[in-house]
C-alpha cells in the first residue's frame, strides 16, 4: 500500500478490498457506481467516455474534497478513501491517518475539530486545594496545642505540655503533702486525713480545691502545692435574727442625733449531723445597733457661727421678735408648741416666710420622761402634723420641754424623731431676772457653735424683747454670725446629711431598737 499522510476513517480490510474491486469494475464498465467512490465522478457525454475528475478536498472534510490531497497523491487516486473522508460522523468518532508500514494511526483529535479548550478548575481541584489549606492552618494550631511551657512548682522549674492538668503534674512530681481533717461545725477534729488532699496557690491567688484540681497550666505560672484544708461535717441550718440595740455615743452636748440607724442581723445557726454540735454560720445580713451621738457643734475652720433659739411660741409676742430679727438681718430657730401653732397658724407661717426655721417643742409641753410610750409618740406626731399643716414644713427635730430627754425616752419614740436640740448658753429669761442679766447670761463665755436659749412665749416676754437687740449687737461686735440650727450642723461637717435636712426619717430597711445596749 502506498504511503499516505492523509487522514481517513478506517474500516476493515475485507470491506476495503471488496469496495475497491467494485469501484474498479464500475469504472471499467462505465456504469454508475453503487458505492461512495462515485462521489465527485462524472461522464463526458461529448466524447462518450468516462473519466475521473480530480477530487477537491476542503478543510471541513465534507464530500467533494480533502484538504492537503493533490491530484497525483495516493489519496487522490483512492476513490474509496475520498468517500470515507466525506463521512462527517466517522471523522468525529474515528480519526487518524494511514502509513505504509504501520497502517492506520489514530490521532488525538478530529481533523476538522478545533484545538481542545483549556480545562478550568474542577470541583476535585477545589477539594484538593481546600485540604492543603486546612493542613497549612492546622500546623500552627497543632503546635499551640502541644507546645512545651515552663512553670515553677514549689520552687522548682519544670517543663510540661501546655494545658497539662495540675492534678497530673502533682502525681508525676510525687509532691508530698498532708491531707486535711474532717471537723465538726465548731472546728473540732472528727477524723484525721479526711479533708482536702492538697491546697493550690497560683501566683498570688489561692484556689479552691475543685478549681485547683481542674486547673490546667498555661505557662509562666508560679504554683505552690501545700497541705490540704479541713472539711466540715454535714449540718442542718436555721436562720437566726438578732435585733439592734440603742447605744449612746457621748455623755453631754448641745445636740443629740441619730448617727446610725439600727438593722437586724440575720445569720445561720448550724447543727452538725455527726457531732450534734451547734455553731454560728454564715451571716446573711449584717446587723448594726442604733447609735445616738451627743456632742457640741463646732464649725469647721473656726468660723464664728452661733444659733439663737426661741421656745413656747407662737404667742402674742412673736411678731415683735420677728421685727427685731429682721431689722438686724438675723435668722433664728423657733421651737413651737403644737397647740399654739393650731391656735395661731398665721404666726408660724410668718416665721417661715421671714426666713427662719421651725422645729417641734412637743404638742402640750409635757415632761416626756414621765410620759408613757404612747403619749410620747402622740406628742411628737401631733406637733409635727400641726407645723406641717400651718407652714408646709416637715420636721423630725424637737427640743424636749425642760431639756428632759433620756435614753429611755429615745427608746420609746420608735424612730419618729431624728434629733434632740438642747442649748449651750441659757439666758434664764424664763425666770425674768432683768434685762442686763438676760444679756449677760446670753453672751458670757460664748464660743463658736453654741446655741442660745430664749423664749417668745410661755409668759410675759417684755424683758426678752428689750434684751434681744443688745444680745445681737454685742455678739455682732465680737464677730459672730447668727445661723439656723440646720445651718450650724452643716457648718460642723460631722452630722449625717439626712439629719442635717431637719426632716430625716427612719429608712425602710432599718429597725428601731427595743432595748438599750
Active-site positions read 311, 455
Could you tell me which residues come within 8 angstroms of residue 73 by beta carbon, excluding any fewer than 6 positions away? 4, 6
Grid coordinates given for 144: 499551640
Grid coordinates given for 483: 445661723
Residue 38 is given by DSSP the state G
Cα pseudo-dihedral 208, 212, 218, 221, rounded to 10: 70
Burial degree of 162 (CB within 10 A; 0-12, 13-18, 19+):
middle
What does the buried/exposed string (b/e) look like for 464-487 if buried means 16 or more CB atoms within 10 Å of the residue's CB?
Answer: bbebbebbbeebeeeebbbbbbbb
Q: Which helix (H) or strand (E) holds 207?
A: strand 205-207
Burial degree of 19 (CB within 10 A; 0-12, 13-18, 19+):
buried
Question: φ and ψ at 284, to 5 degrees?
Answer: -85, -30
How far apart are alpha carbons 70 and 61 in whole angstroms? Answer: 14
- Which residue(s) pair with 482 in the sheet? 306
Residue 429 is given by DSSP the state G
Distances (CA, A) of 499 to 258, 296, 332: 8, 15, 18
Reduced to 3 states, what is the DSSP secondary structure of residue 167? helix
Cα pseudo-dihedral 66, 69, 75, 77, rounded to 10: 100
Amino acid at each position: 500500500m502506498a504511503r499516505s499522510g492523509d487522514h481517513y476513517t478506517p474500516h476493515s480490510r475485507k470491506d476495503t478490498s471488496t469496495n475497491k474491486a467494485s469501484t474498479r469494475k464500475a469504472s471499467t464498465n462505465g456504469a454508475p457506481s453503487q458505492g461512495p467512490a462515485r462521489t465527485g465522478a462524472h461522464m463526458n457525454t461529448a466524447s462518450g467516455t468516462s473519466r475521473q475528475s480530480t477530487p477537491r478536498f476542503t478543510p471541513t472534510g465534507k464530500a467533494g474534497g480533502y484538504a492537503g490531497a493533490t491530484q497525483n497523491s495516493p489519496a487522490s487516486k483512492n476513490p474509496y478513501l475520498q468517500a470515507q473522508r466525506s463521512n462527517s460522523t466517522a471523522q468525529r468518532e474515528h480519526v487518524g491517518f494511514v502509513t505504509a508500514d504501520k497502517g492506520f494511526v489514530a490521532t488525538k483529535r478530529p481533523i476538522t475539530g478545533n484545538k481542545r479548550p483549556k480545562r478550568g478548575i474542577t470541583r476535585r481541584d477545589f477539594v484538593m486545594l481546600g485540604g492543603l489549606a486546612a493542613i497549612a492552618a492546622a500546623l500552627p494550631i497543632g503546635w499551640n496545642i502541644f507546645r512545651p511551657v515552663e512553670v515553677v512548682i514549689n520552687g522548682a522549674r519544670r517543663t510540661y505540655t501546655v494545658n497539662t492538668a495540675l492534678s497530673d503534674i502533682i502525681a508525676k512530681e510525687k509532691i508530698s503533702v498532708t491531707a486535711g481533717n474532717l471537723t465538726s461545725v465548731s472546728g473540732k477534729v472528727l477524723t484525721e486525713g479526711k479533708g482536702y488532699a492538697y491546697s493550690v496557690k497560683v501566683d498570688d491567688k489561692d484556689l479552691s480545691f475543685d478549681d485547683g484540681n481542674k486547673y490546667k497550666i498555661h505557662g509562666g505560672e508560679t504554683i505552690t502545692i501545700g497541705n490540704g484544708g479541713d472539711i466540715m461535717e454535714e449540718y442542718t441550718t436555721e436562720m437566726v435574727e438578732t435585733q439592734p440595740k440603742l447605744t449612746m455615743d457621748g455623755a453631754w452636748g448641745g445636740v443629740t442625733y441619730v448617727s446610725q440607724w439600727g438593722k437586724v442581723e440575720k445569720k445561720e445557726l448550724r447543727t452538725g449531723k455527726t457531732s450534734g454540735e451547734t455553731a454560728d454560720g454564715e451571716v446573711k445580713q449584717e446587723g448594726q445597733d442604733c447609735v445616738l451621738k451627743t456632742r457640741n457643734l463646732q464649725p469647721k475652720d473656726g468660723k464664728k457661727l452661733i444659733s439663737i433659739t426661741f421656745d413656747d411660741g407662737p404667742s402674742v409676742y412673736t411678731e415683735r421678735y420677728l421685727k427685731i430679727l429682721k431689722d438686724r438681718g438675723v435668722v433664728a430657730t423657733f421651737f413651737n408648741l403644737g397647740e399654739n401653732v393650731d391656735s395661731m397658724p398665721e404666726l408660724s407661717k410668718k416665721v417661715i416666710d421671714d426666713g427662719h426655721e421651725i422645729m417641734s417643742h412637743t404638742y402640750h409641753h409635757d415632761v416626756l420622761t414621765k410620759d408613757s410610750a404612747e403619749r410620747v409618740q402622740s406628742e411628737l406626731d401631733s406637733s409635727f402634723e400641726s407645723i406641717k399643716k400651718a407652714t408646709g414644713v416637715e420636721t423630725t427635730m424637737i427640743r424636749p420641754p425642760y431639756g428632759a430627754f433620756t435614753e429611755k425616752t429615745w427608746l420609746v419614740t420608735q424612730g419618729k424623731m431624728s434629733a434632740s436640740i438642747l442649748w449651750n448658753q441659757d439666758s434664764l429669761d424664763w425666770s425674768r431676772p432683768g434685762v442686763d442679766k438676760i444679756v449677760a447670761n446670753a453672751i458670757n463665755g460664748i464660743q463658736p457653735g453654741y446655741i442660745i436659749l430664749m423664749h417668745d412665749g410661755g409668759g410675759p416676754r417684755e424683758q426678752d424683747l428689750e434684751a434681744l437687740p443688745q444680745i445681737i449687737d454685742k455678739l455682732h461686735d465680737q464677730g459672730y454670725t447668727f445661723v439656723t440650727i440646720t445651718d450650724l450642723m452643716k457648718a460642723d461637717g460631722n452630722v449625717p446629711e439626712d439629719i442635717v435636712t431637719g426632716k430625716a426619717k427612719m429608712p425602710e430597711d432599718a429597725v428601731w431598737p427595743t432595748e438599750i445596749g
